[in-house]
Amino acid sequence: MVDRFMEDKTKRVDVDITGVDAPKKTINFDDLKTGGFIKQKQKDLFTVRLRCPGGRMDSEKLVEVSKIAQKYSKEGVVHFSFRQSLEILYVDYNDFSDIVKEIEALGLKVASCGPRVRVPTACGGCEYNPNGLSDTQGLAKMVDEKYFGTPTPHKFKTSFSGCPIDCARTNEMDMGFQGVVDPEWVEDLCTGCTICAEVCKEDAILADPETGKPIFTEANCIYCGDCIRACPTEAWIAKRQGQIVRVGGKHGRRPKNGFEVARFLPDAKVPEAIEKTIEWYTTNGERGERIGTVLRRLGVDHYVDFMKPVYGEFALKPKKPMEYDPS
Amino acid sequence: MSDDIEVKESIDLRGVMCPMNFVKAKLKLEAIETGEVLEIVLDSGEPIQNVPKSIKDEGHQIVDVKKEDGFFRLKVKKN
């Protein structure tokens, strides 16, 4: 099939694409790197997927992209993909070289398909979202720059959520990072106003009926930081801030939840965690096997042991995630 | 925190949804001088979960909180 060709071949492949309407022409698929061109139902037409890490784009570039779409999309439409990238629909394969040139002249790139590290997705994060606990956009940019396109046994999807609302669905990623904060109560500053108990949606904080002061049950806490943000007297402070790391989740035909393998991992350790995880995955995974399958085949401890030098004190003893059961 | 804080203005935001309750509080705050105090009455639940942190984000100071029956009475010092 044509699209498998384009997604999986990494060697130079010259393909004779003589068609009834098209002039005889060969396309060097090596120039097209590793995909980002997806076959449509319609004869000769492909979707061209751009790389938009974290779903962010300068507005100036967006204007230029829309001009390119206007020029090359036979129907004049774009689609916002489920992984936050812009896709130009209905592009004739004869225009591939030209459209890539124009996209790259803007400083943008074509995305990828196939067995490799994909474009990371991310929410707005702490830059402008009041709930945000982590610089998700910065981290997504870093992953895109450092690891995009790294070959892996199967696709490797990453995402970054700034808070436990987890809009970026870190639980469904091959590797997902979600911002968390560990709250600490400073008794001297507390006035017993009960706002923290009121804002805590998890029943981790209840107000003492006598004094109004918080009674904290850590087992219920999901580390969202609502108490810290709401406290009028700064009596809740951030003891430590970092990432929950989830590995081995996926959506698709057989969805699987990720294993929670580390908590409060400092942002500075994220690149190392990704690098080492890819190393474990490429060493132990068979071709066509997602990391979640490898984890379940070898046992999650196999991975956690390997990751000890990176996760250290932040490592968790992973519990078996709740599994999707279609029966 | 005490009852003898002089209140310049007061606004009852019970029944006003987020984020309009915050926007209304903000407009009231704009109408008073720095250092003066606005009293805000907020429902329990979402309003009390959201409005105090937004007030803090904008740099104002919550100087008094009273919980009453199903609602809160806050005193906010404009900064």
B57 contacts A193? CB cut-off 8 A? no
Instruction: Identify the domain containing residue B24 by its residue range.
Output: 9-77
Q: Residue A164 gets which letter from DSSP?
A: T
In a domain, B2, yes or no: no
CA distance A193 to chain B (A): 6
Instruction: Mark which residues 38-97 of A lie under 8 Å from B by CB.
Output: none
Q: Nearest residue of B to residue A232 by CA position?
A: B62
In CATH terms, A183-239 corresponds, of 3.40.1160.10, 3.30.70.20, 3.40.630.10, 1.10.3720.10, to 3.30.70.20
Q: Give dist(CA A168, CA A165) in Å, integer.
A: 9
Strands (DSSP E) along chain A, which ranges? 14-16, 26-28, 37-39, 45-49, 78-80, 86-92, 121-122, 158-161, 175-185, 205-207, 214-216, 236-247, 259-265
**What pLDDT sits at residue A325?**
67
CB B67 to CB A212 under 8 A?
yes
Which tens digit of pLDDT belongs to each residue from B4-52? 789 999 999 999 999 999 999 999 999 999 999 999 999 999 999 999 9
Domain A121-182+240-314 fold? Sulfite Reductase Hemoprotein; domain 1 (3.30.413)
Residue contact B67–A199, C-beta within 8 A: no
Angle at A60 between CA A59 and CA A62, to 5 degrees: 60
Query: Over the stretch A290-305, which tens digit does the pLDDT of each residue have?
Result: 999 999 999 999 999 9
CA–CA separation, A172 and A15 (whole Å): 36
Encode pLDDT of A213-233 as tens digits: 999 999 999 999 999 999 999
Name beta bridge partners: A68.
none
pLDDT per residue over A78-131, tens digit each? 999 999 999 999 999 999 989 999 999 999 988 877 899 999 999 999 998 888
- Residue A23: predicted pLDDT: 43
In this structure, how many other beta carbons lie within 10 angstroms of the beta carbon of residue B14? 13
Q: What is the DSSP letter of A268?
A: G
B3 in any annotated domain? no
The answer to whether the CB of A119 falls within 8 A of the CB of A52 is yes
Domain ranges of chain A: 2-105, 121-182+240-314, 183-239
B45 vs chain A: nearest CA distance in angstroms? Answer: 7
3-state secondary structure of A240: strand
B47: domain CATH number is 3.30.110.40
- Tell me, which fold does domain A2-105 have in CATH? Sulfite Reductase Hemoprotein; domain 2 (3.90.480)
Domain assignment of residue B4, yes or no? no
